[in-house]
Amino acid sequence: MERHLTEHAFAKLNLSLDVLARRPDGYHNMETVMQSVSLWDGVDITVSNGTGRTVRADTDKANLPKGERNLAGKAARIFLAYSGINDVTVTVYITKRIPDQAGMAGGSSDAAAVIRGLDRLLETRLSEEELLDLCLRVGSDVPFCLRGGTALARGRGEALTDLPPLPECGILTVKPEFSVSTPALFAELDRRGPVNSTNTEALLRALRAAPPWEGFTRGVWPLGNVFTSALDPVQRGCVEGVQRALLDSGAVSVNMTGTGSAVFGVYPTPADAARPDLTALGETFAVTPVKKLSRN
């Protein structure tokens, strides 16, 4: 018997991002405010009878890993093992729209969509705590991607606190041609020693000082990303150039997301973010905020 569904795996942006101390387990404690946006990958999941546990995962991009080397395949294997489900074949096919190596959690969101989808298809009815734990076993951004919306994430990303939804606005995301090595940026931060950054603290103070998000689309909210300072001079110059171009085009707030290289600008309305004149900056995506996802 074969069952099938399609999940939307939404991209995320970091409105703020701070890296705190390195942990004994080798990871870093983080503080970040994350936001889901309306750019999504299509994740097709099929479950059928099989022998043992078989996981197949593929995408429409030839350069991306397949099978359990893909985070979506890894997520499926972890889910089946935890649930004790045998004699099943899980096939995942991903239609990619979220750019690779952009800091927009494309792979993490695909993995979260698989965990969310398998819970529905196999009727396992796991608790949210169990699902979030499975997500963390796959990757640090995956727990947020399971729930989406607007949230503060601490620790490795597993300690999530919902925040008031972002108001209606437009967001233009630009992916420059270059990509960034995440391990290299973490190594650079480690080389420098503790970073006294308060991007997230400042954003939370601003959020608590007024009605939720009042003034956000007037550019009075302190966005920031500690990784911007860890880029090499050429990469940093490119990111800052894109940010200037976004501000010159009417964006009221700008930031780099994740470890880059995608940069985004916030505009007062969705129509304002439709800027075909900026395509020379890189691959562009005009998006809107997405609220917290439902399990139904």
Q: Report pLDDT for 275.
A: 94
pLDDT band at residue 25, thresholds of 50, 70 and 90? Answer: confident
Does the fold of domain 170-290 match that of domain 3-162? no
- Residues taking part in catalysis: 12, 141
**pTM value?**
0.95
Q: Report pLDDT for 194.
A: 65
Instruction: In whole angstroms, give the CA distance from residue 99 to residue 26.
Output: 27
Q: Report pLDDT for 84.
A: 96
> 3-162, what's its fold?
Ribosomal Protein S5; domain 2 (3.30.230)
Return the number of other C-beta atoms located less than 10 Å from residue 72's C-beta. Answer: 34
Q: Report pLDDT for 77.
A: 98
pLDDT tens, 122-180?
Answer: 999 999 999 999 999 999 999 999 999 999 999 988 899 999 999 999 999 999 998 88
pLDDT tens, 167-223?
Answer: 999 999 999 998 888 888 988 888 887 666 788 999 999 998 888 898 898 888 999
pLDDT band at residue 270, thresholds of 50, 70 and 90? Answer: very high
166-205 CB burial, b ≥16 within 10 A, e <16: beebbbbbbbbeebbeeeebbeebeeeeebebbbbebbbe
Beta strands in the chain (DSSP E): 3-22, 28-49, 53-59, 88-95, 150-155, 159-162, 170-175, 224-225, 253-256, 263-267, 283-287, 289-290
Q: Report pLDDT for 295.
A: 66
Q: Quick one: tokens of 206?
A: 């601003």
**DSSP class of 164:** P
Q: Report pLDDT for 23.
A: 84
Domain 170-290 has CATH 3.30.70.890: yes
Q: Is the pLDDT of residue 31 over 90?
A: yes
Q: Which residues contact 261 (CB under 8 A, 6 or more apart)?
A: 101, 102, 103, 175, 176, 178, 179, 180, 235, 238, 239
Segments making up each domain of the chain, as ranges: 3-162, 170-290
Q: Is the pLDDT of residue 70 over 70?
A: yes
**DSSP class of 268:** S
Q: Report pLDDT for 191.
A: 87
Average pLDDT over residues 232-261: 96
Place of tokens 């606005």: 169
